[in-house]
Amino acid sequence: MSESRPLLSVIIVSVNTGNWLKPCLESLLSQSIRDSLEVVVVDNGSSDGSADMVRRMFPVVKLVRLEETVGYGKANNVGAGQSRAPILLFLNPDTRLREDSLSPILARFEDHPRCGVAGGVVLDDQGEFERSSGSLPSLFSMGTGRLLKHVPPARPFLGRLSHQHWSGYNESRRVDWVTGAFLWIRRDVFRKSGGFDEGFFMYCEDVDLCYRVGQLGFQCWFFHDAAIVHYKGKSPVPRPRRRMLFESLHCFGKKHYRLHKYPLTRFIFWIQTRL
């Protein structure tokens, strides 16, 4: 990696994920554009020695150590503040990049000047598509998503209408949001949007950010020509994941939906996290 201003800053927030962070960084630093990268690891109050591992094995990586564990959005904001490139990539530590996972999306920002935020293909450890993009949470989108869970034959026809899309991962397209596990954003757009809302401890902070980027007049894109593998759910969490998801959906609905719409939407959010 060069000393000149990088083209892309990759921010990784890690909490006791040393066993996953090491291969993630190895895959990142083997990319064809590694000389144009800046990598920032925010150690979010780890106690497993992973911060020392980063310092010892990856001296080119900028390490930021937090004394206590803070929310995912807040830690990412800290990392963004320590970076320099015009494009930011927020990447989960429990991921591995495939060969040339970065340069296609970096080039897409040149081709799509109104693209403010973007994501790519996220595969699980079995090579299947993760539902990594979607429509904004609403009565319709979440109801459609619940229906398609139980009616798979309808997914090719209705899959792009659900909160988490069931289809459409073989082509590039406009979407409402992309997952925070592999989220790209222009630095100036990130700054104008105010960054991640630190009121979300975990979950939905990516949906909220994409929503606010859209409110600024920028587009959110899913690009199909770059892929990573995501070994999902490896970071420890302080409360059950379903409970945290409901708390975050509740926060999103309360923040963005009008009062007359919110109570019923909140009920749908509650159903969504329990079925």
pLDDT tens for 193-209 read 999 988 776 677 899 99
- Measured in degrees and rounded to the nearest 5, phi and psi for residue 52 equal -65, -35
Supply the pLDDT for residue 260.
47
> Residue 180 contacts by C-beta under 8 Å, 6 or more apart in sequence?
72, 76, 90, 92, 205, 206, 209
- pLDDT bin (cut points 50, 70, 90) of residue 5 is confident
- pLDDT bin (cut points 50, 70, 90) of residue 256 is low
- pLDDT bin (cut points 50, 70, 90) of residue 3 is low
Specify the higher pLDDT residue, 175 or 140: 175
In this structure, of 4-8, 57-61, 180-184, 246-250, the range with the lowest mean pLDDT score is 246-250
9-60 tens-digit pLDDT? 999 999 999 899 999 999 999 999 999 999 999 999 999 999 999 999 999 9
Specify the higher pLDDT residue, 245 or 122: 122
78-109 tens-digit pLDDT? 999 999 999 999 999 999 999 899 999 999 99
- Measured in degrees and rounded to the nearest 5, phi and psi for residue 121 equal -70, 130
Cβ-based neighbour number of residue 233 at 10 Å: 9
Start-to-end Cα distance in the chain: 47
User: Which residue is listed with tokens 């494009």?
Assistant: 87
Mean pLDDT of all residues belonging to the chain: 88
Query: What's the 3-state SS for the chain?
Result: CCCCCCCEEEEEEECCCHHHHHHHHHHHCCCCCHHHEEEEEEEECCCCCHHHHHHHHCCCCEEEEECCCCCHHHHHHHHHHCCCCCEEEEECCCEEECCCCCHHHHHHHHHCCCEEEEEEEEECCCCCECCCEECCCCHHHHHHHHHHHHCHHHHHHHHHHCCECCCCCCCCEECCEECCCEEEEEHHHHHHHCCCCCCCCCCCHHHHHHHHHHHCCCEEEEEEEEEEEECCCCCCCCCCHHHHHHHHHHHHHHHHCCCCCHHHHHHHHHHHCCC
pLDDT greater than 60 at residue 259: no
Q: Determine contact, residues 43/67, Cβ cutoff 8 Å.
A: no
**Segment 177-206 mean pLDDT:** 90
CA distances from 219 to 157, 189, 208, 260 (A): 24, 11, 14, 28
> Residue 112 contacts by C-beta under 8 Å, 6 or more apart in sequence?
219, 221
Report d(CA 270, CA 275) in Å as an integer.
9
Which amino acid type is present at position 81? G
Report d(CA 134, CA 156) in Å as an integer.
14
- Measured in degrees and rounded to the nearest 5, phi and psi for residue 39 equal -115, 125
Specify the higher pLDDT residue, 4 or 230: 230
pLDDT greater than 90 at residue 246: no
- pLDDT bin (cut points 50, 70, 90) of residue 272 is low
Supply the pLDDT for residue 199.
76
Report d(CA 162, CA 212) in Å as an integer.
20
- pLDDT bin (cut points 50, 70, 90) of residue 247 is low
